[in-house]
Amino acid sequence: MATLFFKCLLGAAAVLLIALLSKSKSFYIAGLVPLFPTFALIAHYIVGSERSMEDLRMTALFGLCSLIPYAGYLMAVYVLSYYYNLTATLSLATVVWLGCAGLLLVAWTRWSPLLIANSL
């Protein structure tokens, strides 16, 4: 129960930091806060402690590839914000993220066995 409470506090602190930064003259830094690798650190620790270092490397490589859907989302927000209101922009950008993430998963499941075979 204490760990769940601690995780909630971390989430609340991140939201508070984003809210404070969004009101400052350096508002753009608010976009950096969600990219702190909190969950990546947790995932990498768990994979690294329960599986092989090769699996950790594969997890890190997939994490690097997962930047592609995020980049698609950010590009969509940038472009769509010229044409649509906030709700439509964020909704459509989320659809772009989902599409890119789906394509990434299809591509990864198709080509990751080749990466594994070539690394041995």
Tokens 């990498």 found at: 44
Residue 67 has pLDDT above 60, yes or no: yes
* Cβ-based burial of 22 (10 A; exposed 0-12, middle 13-18, buried ≥19): middle
> pLDDT tens digits for 18-36?
999 999 998 999 888 888 8
Q: Write down the pTM of the prediction.
A: 0.79
Q: What angle do CA 63, 64, 66 make, to 5 degrees?
A: 60
Tokens 């592609």 found at: 68
> pLDDT tens digits for 75-119?
999 999 999 999 999 999 999 999 999 999 999 998 877 766 666
Q: Where are the beta strands (DSSP E) in 1-120?
A: none
> pLDDT tens digits for 41-66?
888 999 999 999 999 999 999 999 99
What pLDDT is recorded for position 120?
Answer: 53
